[in-house]
Amino acid sequence: MRLKFKKTLNKYIFQELIGPFFLGLLIFTFVLLMERMLDLIELVINKGVSLRSVLELIVYIMPSFLVLTIPMAVLVATLSAFGRLSTDSEITAMKASGISLYSLFVPVFIFAVLANGLTFFLYAKALPWGNHQFRVTLYELARTKAAVELKEHVFNSLFRGLVIYIDELSNVDNLFYGIMISDSRDENNPQTIFARKGELISDEKALRVILRLTDGASHPQTVVNPLKYQIVEFPTLDILLSLQDEEMSEGQMTIPRTDRDMTICQLIEQYFVLQRHEQQLAGQATLVCPEPGTSFFDSVSRYAQIVPRLIADSFVIQGRLSSSYLVEIHKRYSIPLACLVFGLIATPLGIQSQRAGKSGGFAISVVLLLIYYIFITAGESLGDSGKLPVFLAVWTPNILLGIVGLFLLIRVARR
């Protein structure tokens, strides 16, 4: 009978968590997506991109949102659920029935473990896939638009910051002749570029479309002193054709960083390559990284050597080139684990906020999220620059909030 009661109680609390979780997930994801909507709308209206392609881009960038919003939703769900139970005096009734707070935390722990597993899968598999597909789609759009939209005797403003005019287009060798470009990508130094000849180059490996100009000159558009008018002549000049602003930050619909395209195994490989390079530049003895195994047992043996080395390197300041990859490796584990940390700290906070209810849960969660992501952003910056050991840079927010959550849980349970 007692076991049946515990199952019923766990199911009841689990049901209390599900509603606020999906509501918080929907709200947070929608807020993050709204920040990108202007860019998406511009792709449809100004760039002539089809709605289907834009929807594909949304699907590809969704994992980068969900790895952040799932831990947020766990925090909101736990605070809201226990805030509601406290407001309705159900927590008091449970305590009077001899139910400990630790028993109430069990369904939260299970819920957080499931969210942790989902977040880890998204971060380890879906995020690299989505980022890569995002880059591929943008590349295909830019290549297709460049081939179709660049016509002779037309001022084309398809690519942001560029207005391209072509005097003659050769159908034989696909070369452009008599090219004029107004380049305003650098607002402080706009240029007008003239070139005798040009051609489109598709760099499939780097996923870039380049307009290569030959035998031309660049003229400044703003001249303060006519006596200092400077003309820069060039034999060849490569201009990257992008449907987006190249200077936009990573989260704003730009092409993602290379390390975010990689799986964990690829990050490890790249980390050791760059670490070996930095050691050679410093004149140090290089550590030999085990080569990929040809069988399952070889792979197990290989990673049995790699993992201890990665752990040891995490407590020592690394070079600028390799540290960013080690930071990204740790983030693949630390951010999913935030689901457990948020569940731990939100349980006692939700019980204590008796007057807050569900609305108070959202308010408290916003404060905690600000604290967490300020710490994680600052730590990532210090870790990437090699100013702080990677373990401290990435795991400090989880450790601090975890200690506070454990302290509050024990304190509230003893009341």
Same domain, 135 and 165: no
**Which of 165-174, 284-293, 299-308 comes out lowest in average pLDDT?**
284-293
- Judgement on whether residues 114 and 173 belong to the same structural domain of the protein: no
In the predicted model, is pLDDT for residue 285 greater than 60?
A: no
Q: Going along 96-160, which residue ranges are E strands?
A: 155-156
What's the pLDDT at 204? 66
Higher pLDDT, 208 or 211: 211
- What pLDDT score does 94 carry? 80
| End-to-end CA gap in the chain | 27
Q: Are residues 113 and 183 in the same domain?
A: no
Alpha helix (H) residue ranges in 238-356 = 264-281, 296-313, 320-352
Task: Look at residue 86 and tell me if it is in a domain.
Answer: yes
Domain boundary among 201, 218, 240: 240
- Do 21 and 130 belong together in one domain? yes
Cα–Cα distance, 89 to 198 (Å, whole number): 75
| Residue at which a domain ends, from 197, 214, 240 | 240
Let me know whether 80 and 174 are in one domain.
no
Quick one: 73 and 117 in the same domain?
yes
Q: Which whole number is the average pLDDT over 52-68?
A: 88
pLDDT at position 270, please?
82
d(Cα 337, Cα 347) in Å, to the nearest integer? 16
What is the Cα–Cα distance from 383 to 393, expressed in whole angstroms? 5
Is the pLDDT at 288 greater than 80? The verdict is no
**How large is the average pLDDT for residues 28-42?**
81
> Looking at the domain assignment, is residue 268 inside a domain?
no
pLDDT in tens, 119-149: 999 988 898 888 888 888 877 777 777 766 6
Q: Which 8-state DSSP code applies to residue 228? A: G
Give φ, ψ of 135 to 5 degrees: -65, -40
Q: Which of 108-117, 129-138, 192-201, 322-331 has the highest mean pLDDT?
A: 108-117
Q: Compute the Cα dihedral for 408, 411, 413, 415 and give only its sign.
A: negative
Same-domain status, 138 and 173: no
Residue 146: CB atoms within 10 A of its CB come to: 20
Q: Residues 6 or more apart from 193 whose CB is under 8 A from it?
A: 179, 180, 181, 182, 183, 213, 216, 217, 218, 219, 237, 239
| Co-location of 13 and 127 in the same domain | yes
Residue 168, pLDDT score: 86
* 247 has a pLDDT exceeding 50: no
> Is 291 inside any structural domain?
no
Instruction: Using the structure block, give the residue that is written with the tokens 């989880």.
Output: 398
Beta-bridged to residue 181, according to DSSP, are 164, 193
Mean pLDDT estimate for the chain: 80
pLDDT at 46: 63
C-alpha angle 368-373-374 in degrees, rounded to nearest 5: 100
* Residue written as token pair 């024990």: 410
Chain centroid to Cα 361, Å, comes to: 26
pLDDT in tens, 324-355: 888 888 999 999 999 999 999 988 888 876 55
Q: Are 134 and 27 contained in the same domain?
A: yes
Which comes out higher in pLDDT, residue 257 or 179?
179
In a domain, 44, yes or no: yes
Which of 198, 220, 240 is the last residue in one of the domains? Answer: 240
Same domain? For 6 and 135 the reply is yes
Considering the domain architecture, whether residues 110 and 233 belong to the same structural domain is answered as: no
Amino acid code (one letter) for 210 = I
Q: Is residue 229 part of a domain?
A: yes
> Which residue range forms the structural domain that includes residue 133?
2-143+319-413
Give me the amino acid identity at 135.
R
Cα dihedral sign, 372-377-382-388: positive
CA distance 47 to 162: 13
Q: Are residues 132 and 202 in the same domain?
A: no
Contact of 154 with 165, CB cutoff 8 Å: yes
User: At residue 360, what are phi and psi to the nearest 5 degrees?
Assistant: -65, -30
Specify the pLDDT at position 119.
Answer: 94
Q: Is residue 334 part of a domain?
A: yes
Tell me whether residue 91 is in a domain. yes
Q: Determine phi and psi for 214, rounding to 5 degrees.
A: -125, 135
- What is the per-residue pLDDT for 51? 80
As a whole number of Å, the CA-based R_g of the chain is 27
Residue 234, strand partner residues: 216
Q: How many independent structural domains does the chain possess?
A: 2
pLDDT at 239 over 80: yes
Q: Confidence class of residue 295 from pLDDT cuts 50, 70 and 90?
A: very low
Q: Which band of pLDDT confidence, cut at 50, 70 and 90, is reported for residue 257? A: very low
Question: Residue 208 and residue 365: Cα distance in Å, rounded?
Answer: 41
pLDDT of residue 297 exceeding 60, the answer is: no
Q: Is residue 303 situated within a structural domain? A: no
- Cα 275 from Cα 321, distance rounded (Å): 8
